[in-house]
Chains A and B, each alone.
Chain A
């Protein structure tokens, strides 16, 4: 059949991935510190976007709670940073976010569509204001100091989190749970009556994605030295991953990765070159991307591939 569309294909070969990781892991040896810091910033967005896509990609539940999980990680780092060694702090950041996501998931994942989106956004704002209130009432401060970690360490920690996230995303996607998540995104009721425990599967996946956001928050906190709720829970951490994932396309794992990387680099270039107009230019690029690349970079790659055949 000519109309038969074969959709099994290798998203990107293992070789390229391996070379890419080697280059990334040796980078601090031969580039300037500025580039390492810039790449850390890029990696941060890549991890948040990728972990966002683990849950929201297949299920099509658009979550705007990323900032909540990221921010919790940041605060854990600020509170425990001086008491515990770094790896423990990062694990704690991830774990607390994981547990929080389980609770949020149990409440909100019964909502669908628009209601879910707004609820998750509300939850992350609620957490931000609760912490603000707590700090003002009981600790008597607004912000906190965070212990500083040198930028190469930050970079390597982020790289490790990225590799683990990628591995987790790959495993979930390839397993039967990946298929089940996609079936939830398509026909939740049909998914339920073929025997998928939809609520528990959604909740656990949501929590797994929150784990990586929390861990990322915990390490990124050390880059800022000073944090307050407005920095840690900035709504940008909720919105950017969604935009980046849409820009990249969510069908394949490389979509959110490259979407986030290109977006983050673009932001940096625009900020440095056009400090006054950067948001304006950013908006125009975003609109153009949505108009002309409705399926993101993944869609573009598909189109080129098809034309070649």
Chain B
């Protein structure tokens, strides 16, 4: 579904991604793990058009999407839940969600989509008219997930959804993630919380210093001596 080939991305003169290749198949949950500054966020931003890669290409559903503007990429069906959710804090919860359905073709269906989001997260319905800045970290994450869902994505990318959240909340969020996946949405998950990320993943990639150094089934990660030592602390 999503194929990333030999991607190199720079910030000015600093190279952040080195020859990164990645494949996400339909209805999969793919986890992309790695430490801080490994290039995980950069990779997501390169895929969704916020940063232009210097070389390499990104294909989505058989068509190249690198070089397109972010709004075109969203219309193709890729959406991103950014780190911390980044809701529009001065808008109400409902307005935030409606903004998710901004792309032209989806705008008309926003009412139906809204009902679905409220079905997923009844919590958001209760706070429909509240300003997003009154929400807690976990609620913001939910709101951002809902906002992405509004855009009718085929592939949804999550940037560290567990960051800064209480363990109970993390569990709930990962639960919603799996529910989303069961609805037929493919998921690319970026996480530092390796244990959780591997638990729900079909396959995983390990990114270090801008390079993919390991890929495969979660079991392979759990058995790998280096991963155990460096990331799992066992």
**A→B interface (CB under 8 Å):** 1, 3-8, 176, 179-180, 182-183, 186-187, 189-198
Chain B residues with Cβ under 8 A from A186's Cβ?
88-91
**Shortest beta-carbon distance from A198 to chain B in Å:** 8
B210 close to A (CB within 8 Å): no
Expressed in whole angstroms, the minimum distance between the Cβ of A205 and any Cβ of chain B is 15
Task: Point out the residues of chain B lying under 8 angstroms from A3, CB to CB.
Answer: 130, 134
Hey, which chain B residues are within 8 Å of A197, CB to CB? Answer: 69, 71
Q: List 13 A-B contacts (CB under 8 A).
A: A1-B127, A1-B130, A4-B129, A7-B92, A179-B91, A186-B88, A190-B82, A190-B86, A193-B70, A194-B100, A195-B71, A196-B99, A196-B102
Contact A195 to B88, CB < 8 A, known contacts A4-B130, A7-B131, A189-B82 = no
Query: Which A residue sits closest to B75, measured CB to CB?
Result: A195
CB distance from B133 to the nearest CB of A (A): 10
Q: Are A8 and B147 in contact (CB under 8 A)?
A: no
Min Cβ gap A71→B in Å is 33
Interface residues contributed by chain B, number (CB under 8 Å): 34
B11: min CB distance to chain A, Å: 15
Beta-carbon nearest neighbor of B127 in chain A = A4
Question: CB-CB < 8 A to B107: which residues of A?
Answer: 176
Residues on A with beta carbons closer than 8 Å to the beta carbon of B98: 176, 179
Q: How far is the CB of A171 from chain B (nearest CB, A)?
A: 16
How far is A180 from B102 in the complex, measured between Cα atoms in Å?
A: 8
What 0/1 readout, one digit per residue, does chain B (83-106) give for beta carbons within 8 Å of chain A? 000111111100100111011000
Please determine whether A179 and B95 come into contact, CB atoms closer than 8 angstroms: yes
CB distance from B75 to the nearest CB of A (A): 6
Query: Quick one: closest B residue to A182, CB to CB?
Result: B91
Verify if B124 is at the interface (C-beta below 8 Å from A): no
B79 touching A193, Cβ below 8 Å: yes
B147 cross-chain contacts in A, Cβ below 8 A: 194
Most buried by B among A1, A180, A186, A198: A186
Flag whether B48 is at the interface (Cβ < 8 A). yes
Residues from chain A with Cβ under 8 Å of B61 in the complex: none
Q: Does any Cβ of A come within 8 Å of B80's Cβ?
A: yes
- A190 CA / B80 CA spacing, docked (Å): 9
Q: Is the CB of B70 within 8 A of A195?
A: yes
List B contacts of A5 (CB < 8 A).
Answer: 129-131, 134
0/1 interface trace, chain B 121-138, chain A, CB 8 Å (1 if under): 000001101110010000
Beyond the given pairs A3-B134, A195-B79, 13 more chain A to chain B contacts, judged by CB atoms under 8 angstroms and listed by A's residue number, are: A5-B129, A7-B131, A8-B92, A176-B99, A179-B91, A179-B98, A182-B90, A183-B99, A186-B88, A186-B89, A189-B50, A192-B50, A194-B102
Q: Which residue of B lies closest to A199 (CB)?
A: B69
Q: Is B194's beta carbon under 8 Å from chain A? A: no
Residues of A close to B91: CB separation below 8 A: 179, 182-183, 186
Question: Which residues from chain A contact B2 at a C-beta distance below 8 Å?
Answer: none
Q: Does B20 contact A (CB under 8 A)?
A: no
- B69, closest chain A residue (CB): A197
- B145 CB–A CB distance under 8 Å: no
Chain A residue, CB-CB nearest to B92: A7
| B86–A187 touching, CB < 8 Å | yes
Q: Which among A4, A186, A194 has the highest number of chain B CB atoms within 10 Å?
A: A194
Contact present for A193 and B82 (CB under 8 Å): yes
Which listed residue, B82, B86, B130, B151, touches A195 by the CB 8 Å rule? B151
- Is B88's CB under 8 angstroms from A190's CB? yes
| Contact between A189 and B86, CB atoms less than 8 A apart | yes
* A187-B88 in contact given A176-B98, A193-B79 (Cβ < 8 Å): yes
User: From A189, which residue of chain B is reached at the shortest CB distance?
Assistant: B50
Contacting pair A194 B50 (CB below 8 A): no
Among residues of A, the one whose C-beta sits closest to the C-beta of B70 is A192
**Which B-chain residue is minimally distant from A3 (CB atoms)?**
B134
B191 to chain A, nearest CB (A): 19
Indicate if the CB atoms of B50 and A6 lie closer than 8 Å.
no
Least Cβ–Cβ distance between A261 and chain B, in angstroms = 26
- With both beta carbons as reference points, the residue of chain A lying nearest to B107 in the complex is identified as A176
The listed residue (A6, A7, A179) touching B99 by CB distance below 8 A is A179
| Bound complex: CA A76 to CA B98 (Å) | 42
B90 to nearest A CB, angstroms?
6
Q: Ordered nearest first, which 8 A-B pairs have the shortest CB separation? A: A195-B74, A190-B86, A197-B71, A195-B103, A192-B70, A186-B88, A183-B88, A195-B71
Smallest CB-CB separation from B94: which chain A residue? A8
CA distance A191 to B100 in the complex (A): 9
B31 → chain A closest CB, angstroms: 20
* B129–A8 touching, CB < 8 Å: yes
- Contact partner of A182 among B75, B88, B148, CB < 8 A? B88
A63 to chain B, nearest CB (A): 20
Q: What's the minimum C-beta distance from B142 to chain A, rounded to whole angstroms? A: 15
A residues within 8 A CB of B71? Answer: 192, 195-198
Residue of B nearest to A180 (CB): B102
Cα(A3)–Cα(B139), bound, Å: 15
Q: How far is the CB of B30 from chain A (nearest CB, A)?
A: 19
A189-B130 Cα distance, complex, nearest whole Å: 23
